[in-house]
Structure 1
Amino acid sequence: MRLTILGCAGSIPGPHAAASGYLVEADGFLLGLELGNGTLAELQALRDPFELDALLLSHLHPDHCADFSALTVLRRYHPAAPYDRRPRRLPVYGPAETPARLANAYAPHESERQETDLSDVYEFHPLSTTARTIGPFEVTCFPMDHPTEAFGVRISHGGRTLAYTGDTGPCAAVEDLARDVDLLLAEASWTDSPARPPGVHLSGRQAGELARLAGAQRLLLTHIAPWTDPAAVLAEAEAEFPGALVAEQGAVYEV
């Protein structure tokens, strides 16, 4: 498996930094994981967006799905798109409210919000804790501790496993998600402090502790807010898990 970082800024995009967006690829199958603010531009710089074979959204906060409306415009109206690709409906996996919420976000007029239907370009599948196959990947989702319905995702292929926390506070489910993975892509939105609200995000220390206790082989930190010092977050994580890295936009990692 190969992981490409389209964007890794947390909560909002930063200067020249897109929000959450990743590509996971194996056997010629391209899975999009999140599509936050600015990530469609980065995707176009690296790949033909029509090459996406499926898209998975961990939750529906804008920094994880805001560019979905732009993707809809691209898939419906791009005049140069090959005819045999445009009618194909892209499989989209997300929380139960995904079809309605993203249709409302896309609707060009307030009066059309409830009538807008995206089924001409997408086929929607609700996420659940039941393992499923997406292309060559075995995918298992875990409910995370976040203010909205949110999932962490465990993706396996060829004896290798990538786990992605999405957004979450510390919880038992995120420990199960990260157990013995080859690469843990963990959000670490802020530095550690007892004043942080529970059930929202991980700190650098908590991400490092998670990787250590779960027996992860490697730790890649993501979703660091633009107002947070990445070096401080990394130092916390490395104190718990030596060798941790901060994800870099445009970088490619072999799992």
Structure 2
Amino acid sequence: MFGSRPPAAWQAGEVRVTVLGCSGSVVGPDSPASGYLLTAPGTEPLAIDFGGGVLGTLQRFADPGEVNVFLSHLHADHCLDLPGLFVWRRYHPNAPTGKALMYGPADTWSRMAAASSPHGAELDDFTDIFDVHSWSDGQTISYGALNVHVREMKHPTASFGMRFTDPSGAVLVYSADTGICDAIVELAQGADVFLCEASWTHSPKNPADLHLSGTEAGQIATAAGVGELLLTHIPPWTSREDVIAEAKAAFDGPVHAVVAGEGFDVRCTRSR
């Protein structure tokens, strides 16, 4: 259903997600914060989230001037490498003309304009390089050859999980940051690959509506009947081994905690 292998071995005709960064909440010693590159035939390359360090890793796999950007939410670890991308698109000698596409929560333009401001009292109006659109709960758009459906998750700020479907019926679902909720189970139904955050181990002391434990990620994968579970957004202070063990105890399918630089193919092998 999916397989990790070097980018050079990628075959045309496959949807592929490459992990640019997967460290939860902060940049880690071995990984940037959240960011994923989605590639598919007939579809422009897409960066899903753009946390600290993602721009550097992206340069290994794609021309940053050619990617569009989908933001799940606007916490710093998911978006604050974007000012660097603005510099790239404006000043790189071979930067493309025209605008790239950006989708995000309703306040994406104002928040990113403030983050990229050269002076505290100014906003960087980056609409010269990006055409910015807002997500809404339950929205479905076409992106190249892909169908993209979003649902709002449970998180302290507006956070949107994403479901990508290719013409063959292959489905990748990205949880974004979320606490356990009906929306994520519904979004992940029957996904071939479920890229799901798991920020901590399970405890009744965990704050509600913030993040998932390994146990909860596994429970969602089971309830949604997914094919493969990819765990991500594990902070440097959380035991990866414990999160993996929790997920495996709650889900009997394949489980893997991703690392930066890995790539995974998304193929339809399930009846819908």
Superposition pairs of residues 62-73 of structure 1, within 5 angstroms? 62-73=76-87
Query: Any gaps of 5 or more consecutive residues in structure 1?
Result: none
For this pair of structures, how many residues does the alignment match? 248
Partner of 1:244: 255
Matched, 1:49 2:64: yes
Report what 1:219 is aligned to: 229
1:144 aligns with 2:153: yes
CA drift of 1:46 comes to 2.3
Describe the SS at the equivalent of 1:141.
Answer: strand
What residue is the counterpart of 1:26 in the other structure?
Answer: 40
CA offsets 1:173-225 (integer angstroms, 9 cap, x no match): 01101111000000000000000000000000000010011100100000001
Equivalent residue number for residue 127 of structure 2: 119
Matched with 2:106 is: 96
CA distance in 2, matches of 1:46, 1:215: 31
Name the aligned partner's letter for residue 162 of structure 2: V
SS in 2 for 1:169: coil
5+ residue gaps, structure 2, are: 1-14, 267-272
State the TM-score, normalized to the length of structure 1.
0.95
Provide the rounded CA distance (Å) in 1 between the counterparts of 2:62 and 2:84: 16
Q: Distance in 2 between matches of 1:126 and 1:144?
A: 15
Q: CA deviation at 1:246?
A: 0.4
Structure 1 runs of 4+ off > 4 angstroms?
none
Counterpart Cα distance in 2 of 1:193 and 1:166 = 21
Q: Which residue identity is paired with 2:100?
A: L
Between 2-11 and 237-246, the greater mean CA deviation after superposition? 237-246
- SS of the aligned residue for 1:159 comes to coil
Shift of 1:10: 0.2
Tell me if 1:77 matches 2:91. Answer: yes
| Letter of the 1:172 counterpart | D
Distance 1:234 1:49 in 2: 32
Contact 2:31–2:259 (CA under 8 A) maintained in structure 1: no
**Is the aligned partner of 1:38 residue 2:29?**
no
Instruction: Indicate the SS of the match to 1:101.
Output: helix
SS in 2 for 1:23: strand
**Higher relative contact order structure (alpha carbons within 8 Å, sequence separation ≥ 6):** 2
Aligned-partner residue type, residue 232 of structure 1? D
Aligned to 2:6: none
* Aligned partners of 2:42 and 2:144 also within 8 Å: no
Distance 1:180 1:220 in 2: 14
CA displacement 1:32-52 (0-9 Å, x = unmatched): 100001010000122221231
Equivalent residue letter for 1:33: I
Residue 28 of structure 1: how far off its partner (Å): 4.6
Spell out the pairing of 1:149-160 with structure 2 (5 A cutoff): 149-157=158-166, 158-160=168-170
Distance 1:111 1:51 in 2: 30
> Amino acid of the residue matched to residue 213 of structure 2?
S
What is the CA deviation profile of residues 19-75 of structure 1, one whole-angstrom value per residue up to 9, with x for unaligned ones?
1000111115211100001010000122221231x2100000010001111000110
Taking structure 2 as the reference length, the TM-score comes to 0.89
State whether structure 2 residue 186 is matched by structure 1 residue 176. yes
